[in-house]
Amino acid sequence: MQRVKIWDSFVRLSHWLMVVLLVAMWWTADNDYMEWHLRLAPLLGGLLISRLVWGLVGSQSARFSYFLGGPKAVLQHLREFKNGHYQPSNSHNAAGGWAVMLILLLLLAQFVSGLFAADGYFYEGPLAARIGSDAAELMTDIHQIVFDVLVVAVVLHLIAIVVYKLRGVSLVAAMLHGYRHNVGAVPLRNGLIGIALAAVAAFALFVWIN
């Protein structure tokens, strides 16, 4: 069986770090460790921004133009999946690609609203003071609502992964080691470039936010 590397190290590392950081961001806000909320936010922000840039100029399998298809492609994928004819590809499938995009955009909305949010006591994002307390309150509400939507999206993400597994398609292993069997070769960039980009972005955000 031909074994093809489809996910570079940056895509894999950023995925699993984002998982850990999302849980940590919820935990720190919920347990009054806001100083840590603001310390960890730059890391998640740096990963997120660099993943979005990687979606434009990174490895082919990670590019939005490669895995986002029109309604026809999505319907065809869903039909094939229903009929049991779906063969895993060398990137996200046509439906999963949009789910990925949705999660990335929700994370971005969460991050940006956080920059304007304020807890009303000691902690606030670096832009909260600039917009006045009413607008900051609104952004704080948005920060809370987007988080709830994000949780729903992540639960659906996990349900989808289980449904694929039940149909014999294992997606998790490739997100761990990067390889998938019997798919077409896909040119990858050196993931270290993405990791370096994320580190620089996270450092810049840290200096700004803290």
Name the burial class of residue 41, with classes exposed (0-12), middle (13-18) and buried (19+) by CB atoms within 10 angstroms of its CB: buried
- Tell me if 117 sits within 8 A of 124, measured CB to CB: yes
In sequence order, the β-bridge partners of residue 179 are: 5
Least Å distance, CB 1 to ligand HEM, is 18
Interface segment toward ligand HEM; rule CB under 6 A; list 69-77, 111-119, 184-192, 193-201: 111-119
Nearest to 60 by CA among 5, 18, 111, 103: 5
Report whether 194 contacts 136 (CB < 8 A): no
Nearest to 68 by CA among 95, 108, 32, 35: 95
Spatial distance between the Cα atoms of 208 and 205, rounded to a whole number of angstroms:
5
CB of 48 to ligand HEM, least distance (A): 7
- 62 binds ligand HEM per the rule CB under 6 A: yes
- Minimum Å distance from CB 209 to ligand HEM? 5
Residue 118 interacting with ligand HEM (CB under 6 A): yes
Cβ closer to ligand HEM: 38 or 79?
38
In the structure encoding, which two tokens stand for residue 161, read together? Answer: 């992964």
Residues forming the site for ligand HEM (CB under 6 A) = 11, 15, 18-19, 22, 25-26, 29, 37-38, 41, 44-45, 51, 62, 92-93, 96, 100, 103-104, 107, 110-111, 114-115, 117-119, 123-125, 140, 143-144, 147, 154, 157-158, 161, 171-172, 175, 209
